[in-house]
């Protein structure tokens, strides 16, 4: 709203009446997103990176690697006071947020056939090594 909407009132401080509420909701939901990412990282991301299964790897890695700069720019936006730096951080945060969202949706779309199977449990299917059966 802040970047793409303009008000007709030259004295307006905000561009839309919901802008302050949505910004507060966005700031308050960030710790929950960090917590959720931590849970996903321990149960899904780490095991997927260690496995040899290539399905969804590119979109998952893209989502993971864009999440860290997204968090960093989000925190820096709250403490930086230089206008040019703030503008650069704001646009970077917006772009990274769009890219991260796109990557998560692409990851979900790529893995959609796996979610339809009712027998699949956990983040990865179980694989038995042939050498371990003989030992």
- In the numeric block, the tokens 């990412």 are attached to 37
The neighbour count for residue 33, using CB atoms within 10 Å, is: 14
More confident residue, 11 or 108: 108
Q: Are 38 and 64 in contact (CB under 8 A)?
A: no
pLDDT in tens, 73-94: 999 999 999 999 999 999 999 9
Overall average pLDDT of the 112-121 stretch: 60
Query: Rg for the chain (alpha carbons), in Å?
Result: 20
Burial class (CB in 10 A: 0-12, 13-18, 19+), 128: exposed
3-class DSSP string for the chain? CCCCCCCCCCCCCCCCCCHHHHHHHHHHHHHHHHHHHHHHHHHHHHHHHHCCCCCCHHHHHHHHHHHHHHHHHHHHHHHCCCHHHHHHHHHHHHHHHHHHHHHHHHHHHHCHHHHHCCCCCCCCCCCCCHHHHHC
pLDDT band at 108 (very low <50, low <70, confident <90, very high): confident
């Amino acid at each position: 709203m802040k970047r793409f909407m303009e008000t007709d009132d030259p004295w307006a401080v905000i561009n839309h009446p919901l802008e302050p509420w949505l910004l507060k909701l966005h700031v308050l939901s960030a710790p929950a997103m960090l917590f959720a990412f931590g849970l996903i990282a321990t149960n899904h991301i780490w095991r997927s990176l260690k496995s040899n299964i290539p399905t969804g790897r590119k979109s998952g890695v893209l989502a993971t690697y864009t999440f860290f700069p997204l968090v960093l720019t989000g925190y820096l936006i709250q403490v930086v006071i230089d206008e040019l730096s703030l503008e650069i951080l704001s646009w970077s945060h917006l772009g990274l947020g769009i890219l991260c969202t796109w990557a998560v949706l692409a990851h979900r779309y790529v893995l959609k056939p796996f979610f339809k199977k009712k027998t699949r449990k956990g983040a990865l299917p179980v694989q038995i090594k042939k050498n371990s059966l003989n030992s």
